[in-house]
Amino acid sequence: MRFTQLQDSEGGGGDMEWDEHASTWDEDPAARAYSRAAFDSLRVEAARRDVTISGARVCDFGCGTGLLTEQLAADATHIDAVDASPAMLDALREKVARNGWTHVDTLGGPRGAGGHYDLIVCSSVCAFLDDYPGTVRHLASLLRPDGLFVQWDWELGPEDAEEYGLSRDEIRDALAGAGLRSVRVETAFRIPMGDVTMAPLMGSGRRR
């Protein structure tokens, strides 16, 4: 299966065997294009909100093999790369060692202390969570005041039958319900890949 069919997950989606895809995940050009576009959209959103990625403490929640972590590593002071798939984390650990990223930790869960992170990112993971609103509430509690939460997920409309995806209202309600302010939900980017256009939603908000 390709990236356009499978998305990386943390928790939830128990029928998805993510470990099986860890060794080949980075070879998919769509996966790499998606991660680059997500990072570009993050930089735009951070600038719009006057948030600085440089020097930030970051949690990459549902990091998979670390394609987004790679983009963040040059600027962030520290990154906790979190995923439920041991094989995905092993693939990322190889990158960490190869690149000498002493500021990147690979973890099975985010650090529990409140106010720990300046930025939390969740790339194509939230739609797979067993308790999406509850997880966002927990993650929001780990942000420092004015810290930024950003997620990317496939959009589901009222007529869509796909199992994995989120509607704009679902994202808006979850972020607002987590106590985040200035919530925005919009199309993050559009990338044609063959006969498919990747156009995920980006939801964002700041901790009060």
- Residue whose tokens read 């356009």: 4
- Whether residue 65 lies inside any domain: the answer is yes
- Residue whose tokens read 């790339």: 123
- Whether residue 68 lies inside any domain: the answer is yes
Strands 180-187 and 201-207: antiparallel
- Whether residue 2 lies inside any domain: the answer is no
- Whether residue 198 lies inside any domain: the answer is yes
Percent of the chain residues past pLDDT 70, beyond the cut: 90
- Whether residue 13 lies inside any domain: the answer is no
pLDDT of residue 2: 32
- What is the rounded average pLDDT for all residues in the chain? 89
Write out residues in the chain with pLDDT < 50, as ranges. 1-15
For residue 182, report the phi and psi dihedrals to the nearest 5 degrees: 50, 45
Q: How many CB atoms lie within 10 A of CB 136?
A: 28
The domain containing residue 159 runs over which residues? Answer: 18-207
- Whether residue 5 lies inside any domain: the answer is no
| pTM, to two decimals | 0.90
pLDDT of residue 27: 92
CATH number at residue 200: 3.40.50.150
pLDDT of residue 12: 36
- Whether residue 149 lies inside any domain: the answer is yes
pLDDT of residue 7: 39
- Whether residue 4 lies inside any domain: the answer is no
Q: How many domains does the chain have?
A: 1
pLDDT of residue 162: 62
- Reported residue count of the chain is 208
